[in-house]
Amino acid sequence: MGYSIRFRKRFMPRSFADLSAMVFMLLAIPSVYWFEVYVVGPTIYNRTLNILHVIVGTYMVINIIGNFMAVIAVDTSTQGLVLPSQVPPGWHVCANCESTAPPRSRHCITCNACVMKKEHHCIFTGCCVGLGNHRYFYIFLFLMWGSTLYCSFLNSFFIWPYVGGFNMWAFVRLVLPGVWLLLEPSLDTLYAFLFSINVIGFLFMSVLMYYYTGLLIMNMTTHENNHRKGQKYDHGREHNIKVTLGERWYWTWVFPTLSSPLPYDGLDWSLQSGEKSVRPKTK
Ligand SMILES: [Zn+2]
Ligand SMILES: [Zn+2]
């Protein structure tokens, strides 16, 4: 049984921390885009290269925000699915939902639902990453990693005149960008702030990419990894990648709307070759 997509009915974050993180993201991404396209690009590049820079940059920012929105839009919960009344092998009973829950699912207190193949609750999107939106989450990380790497490199040519050359004071200003921006609000400090946001973003994304790529190629969630329960879902690298990114995983970075069907429906986690199906009977 393949997966069929379902959309969430409620998009707003349910906690203040989640809302703050989401607002930060939705302010930071367009601010960095503005900085790269209107400030850095025209200073660094000639006219032709700058046009290319703007086209690629616009595509990247639309792609990034598209994946971000797709994480929010896709319903990863078991709500609305027909679940068995008896507990099939590998399933458990969720006391919060007062229903059976499939293998690899876990309850999220914030979302107040059981989430299929739960990865984690993401504060930036205010929802859980699990089966169905894991692809968008991973591609979002990948695109953010590539973009912040490129921008950090480009900005390093641009920024030095604004921080007064490389010295200890400039270093402190760039390491504590928010403080400097608050003490001396000006265009120069804003540029330095956006420069630092990019570098910090790149370092943060590098760590996340390293960690989540490792889990993705092992077909493991964070919880399974922490509790060493994931090995039974590891059926080779290509299979594992398809579990998260879908059959056409190699296209998923191009745009979030490109179809890449997921091989598992979130209820039955036996091998799809069908030799040992443990699909539960529904009531
Ligand atoms: Zn639950
Ligand atoms: Zn959640």
pLDDT per residue as tens digits for the range 252-269: 999 999 999 999 999 998
Structure tokens at 262: 């997921």
Rounded Cα distance between 78 and 100, Å, is 10
Mean pLDDT of the chain, nearest integer = 89
Say what the pLDDT of residue 190 is.
86
130 CA to centre of ligand 1 in angstroms: 14
Provide the pLDDT for residue 280: 42
**Predicted confidence (pLDDT) at residue 43 exceeds the cutoff of 50:** yes
Cα Rg for the chain, rounded, in angstroms?
22
Q: Of 268, 269, 267, 211, nearest to 240 (Cα)? A: 269
Nearest bound ligand to CA 126?
2
The answer, yes or no, to whether residue 203 has pLDDT greater than 90, is yes
Q: Residue 261 Cα, ligand 2 centroid: separation in angstroms?
A: 23
Centre of ligand 1 from the C-alpha of residue 215, in Å: 23
Give the Å distance between the CA of 17 and the centre of ligand 2: 13
**Mean pLDDT of all residues in 167-184:** 70
Cα 95 to ligand 1 centre (Å) = 7
d(CA 114, CA 128): 10
Percent of residues, the chain, with pLDDT higher than 90 = 72
Q: What is the mean pLDDT of residues 156-162?
A: 81
Going by DSSP bridges, is the β-strand pair 113-115/106-108 parallel, antiparallel, or unpaired? antiparallel
Q: Distance, CA 82 to ligand 1 centroid (Å)?
A: 14
Compare 270 and 273 and report the one with higher pLDDT: 270
Between the CA of 129 and the centroid of ligand 1 the distance, in Å, is 15
Q: How many CA atoms lie within 13 A of 176 on its CB side?
A: 9
Distance (Å) from CA 94 to ligand 1 centroid: 5
Mean pLDDT of 273-278: 43
Name the nearest CA neighbour of 13 among 156, 122, 147, 153.
Answer: 122
Q: For position 189, what pLDDT does the model report?
A: 80
On whether the CB atoms of residues 129 and 120 are closer than 8 A, the answer is: yes
Beta bridge partners of 94: 99
Q: Is the pLDDT of residue 121 over 80?
A: yes
Listed range (3-7, 74-78, 107-111) with the worst mean pLDDT: 3-7
For the residues 168-175, what does the mean pLDDT come to?
Answer: 67
Query: What's the pLDDT tens digit per position in 130-152?
Result: 999 999 999 999 999 999 999 99
Which pLDDT belongs to residue 283? 36
